Amino acid sequence: MADLKDEYLDIGENLRFYGNLRFAQLTLFFAVTGAIIAALFTINPPLPSQVRFLLKWVGLAMTILFWLMEKSSSWFWVYYVERAQVIEKVLGYYQYTGRNPKIRKQYWIWKCLNATNAVRGIFLVMFVFWLIMIIWHTEY
């Protein structure tokens, strides 16, 4: 029983770590993406077209890589929540077991409106943005 309580406490720390990691990764993604976009749209002096084309591919690659890192962090977070729920049944706790309000179970739209899906949407939008930037050749 004491081992399960210790594991339960460790799970809480792991959940905080992966929650913070997801936020830090997203922040870094926006910083990298912002720097690439700023470089692409620098007007004076403009970058050579070959460099701009390469930066667009780097932007697409960064989007994919950061999405993969987000997916990995999300998988670990979900694993720890599920493990916490198993331990709670043994210990009689309800912190993670009862965390979903009934409304989420009643209406499908509430199942879709969550932070994970919002981040997925951000990566999807950026992926499409970089594809358009690669395909559409302009001065910028």
Confirm whether 140 is domain-assigned. no
Those residues whose C-beta lies under 8 Å from the C-beta of residue 1, and which sit 6 or more positions away, are: 90, 91
Structure-block tokens of residue 76: 């670990």
| Phi–psi pair at 35, nearest 5 degrees | -65, -40
**Range of the structural domain that residue 75 is part of:** 2-135
pLDDT digits (tens, 9 = 90+) for 15-67: 999 999 999 999 999 999 999 999 998 878 888 989 999 999 999 999 999 99
| Residue 118 within a domain | yes
pTM of the model: 0.85
What domain count does the chain have? 1
**Within a domain: 92:** yes
Which H/E stretch holds residue 50? helix 49-91
* Average pLDDT estimate for 88-99: 88
pLDDT number for residue 76: 96
